[in-house]
Amino acid sequence: MKLDDHENSLQAITRRHFFKQTGFGIGSLALTSLLNEQLLRAQVAPPGRTADEAPQQKPHFAPKAKNVIYLFMAGAPSQLDLLDFKPELKKRDGEPCPEDLIKGERFAFIKGVPRLLGTPHSFRQVGQSGAELSILLPHLSEIADDVAIIKSMHTTQFNHAPAQILMNTGHQIIGRPSVGSWLTYGLGSEGRELPGFVVLLSGKNQPDGGKSCWGSGFLPTQYQGVEFRSKGDPVLFLSNPEGMSVDTRRHTLDALQSLNRMHIDEIGDPEITTRIASYEMAYRMQTSVPDLMDIAKEPSAVHEMYGTQPGEASFGNNSFARAPPGGERRAFCAALSPRLGHAWLKRR
């Protein structure tokens, strides 16, 4: 008997997945009711179809932005020195921390009564909006009216890893989807040649929060960020092994896909569709990734303007990775290595 699509998609949710999903998040249930049914169906592709081929339905609100470039600069200079002026803190610089702020609290690495640290830099109002920016940001000050500065976010987490996980997933404990995962889940990606959510790492270290900073949490793993390396091959093992032609690669993927689909028909685990989709994505990335990361094609004047050097592993190069052709909708994310802020503080 041929079931219709809807029943197929219900069948595709296995018992294990049902418990995993409901166990983890009322949030995901709430969200699925907010999104229309077609979109939900696209997420859990019916058996025999990869999520890749599932109909891409538009969400309720047409997204205006086509790309999101999200620079998460762990260890950057403090906002208190750059764009969040605290006159009272500056006035009290060097004083012991008021008791009502720390009474009954315990903080890691802090003994006794800490001293307040106000910014040594001066601030000024810039642009028509009168935004207060540090004199350390002369160039940003010139375009102050074109940027939105959000100062209302706060956290109780002050330690590196939990704070980074909170910043990226909304909770200090791992297990929630990162912001890029939510975006690709909720809005989808029109790009077929590259993953919707790409992570470019700069510096020697990973962020303290680790891969959870771009993980998919309780969402299906196809929404997690795909990590590109900033030097050498952007994605490891993407090139064909010696002697394997493009045709052979295609044949093996076809065989692999049809065998994996037979397996889906039997056990209906949606994670298999994720695997099929990621193999297919990898195949397309064999040509699209070298092109994306090849910034050497840009004219030298452009490199001078951005301070980028082709072939070097740098934050500038990562930030510069070219937007994909055709203005497709996707999310981008770049992370800088931590610890710079410490050096910054010590220098003062």
Partner 1 sequence: MARSLAKRMLSESGPDVRARAAYGFRLCTSRQAKGRELDQLSKLYDEELARLTADKASAHKMLGDLAVADEARNAELAAWTVVSNVLLNLDETVTKE
Rounded least distance, CB 263 to partner 1, Å? 6
Name residue 192's amino acid: R
Task: Render 95-132 in DSSP notation, one character per residue.
Answer: SBPPHHHHTT---TT--S-PBP---SS-EEEETTTTEE
Rounded least distance, CB 229 to partner 1, Å? 22
Using only C-alpha atoms, the chain has a radius of gyration, in whole angstroms, of: 24
Q: Closest CB to partner 1 among 225 and 270?
A: 270
Copy the structure tokens of residue 248: 């052979």
Q: Closest CB to partner 1 among 129 and 252?
A: 252
Question: Using CB under 8 A, which of 4, 100, 105, 247 touches partner 1?
Answer: 247
Task: Tell me the three state secondary structure of residue 127.
Answer: coil
Q: Closest CB to partner 1 among 41 and 275?
A: 275
Copy the structure tokens of residue 141: 């000050």
Q: Is residue 256 a contact residue for partner 1 (CB under 8 A)?
A: yes
- Nearest of 318, 225, 242, 324 to residue 284 by alpha carbon: 324
Rounded least distance, CB 211 to partner 1, Å? 19
Contacts of 224 (CB under 8 A, 6+ apart): 178, 181, 197, 214, 215, 216
Residue 339: exposure state from Cβ atoms within 10 A (0-12, 13-18, ≥19):
middle
Q: Is residue 262 a contact residue for partner 1 (CB under 8 A)?
A: yes
- Nearest of 235, 233, 237 to residue 199 by alpha carbon: 235
| Segment 263 to 302, residues that bind partner 1, using CB under 8 A | 263, 267, 269, 271-272, 275-276, 279
Task: Tell me the three state secondary structure of residue 316.
Answer: helix
Q: Closest CB to partner 1 among 255 and 345?
A: 255
Q: Is residue 21 a contact residue for partner 1 (CB under 8 A)?
A: no
| Locus of tokens 């994605």 | 235
Quick note: the x/- pattern for partner 1 over 82-121, rule CB under 8 A, is ----------------------------------------
Rounded least distance, CB 267 to partner 1, Å? 6
Which span (72-80, 81-89, 95-103, 248-256) binds partner 1, by CB under 8 A?
248-256
User: How many Cα neighbours within 13 Å face the side chain of 125?
Assistant: 3
Q: Is residue 259 a contact residue for partner 1 (CB under 8 A)?
A: yes
Which span (71-79, 96-104, 145-153, 239-247) binds partner 1, by CB under 8 A?
239-247
Rounded least distance, CB 219 to partner 1, Å? 18
Q: Are 68 and 183 in contact (CB under 8 A)?
A: yes
Residue 196: exposure state from Cβ atoms within 10 A (0-12, 13-18, ≥19):
buried
Rounded least distance, CB 17 to partner 1, Å? 12
Rounded least distance, CB 253 to partner 1, Å? 9
Contact set with partner 1 (CB under 8 A): 241-245, 247-248, 251-252, 255-256, 258-260, 262-263, 267, 269, 271-272, 275-276, 279
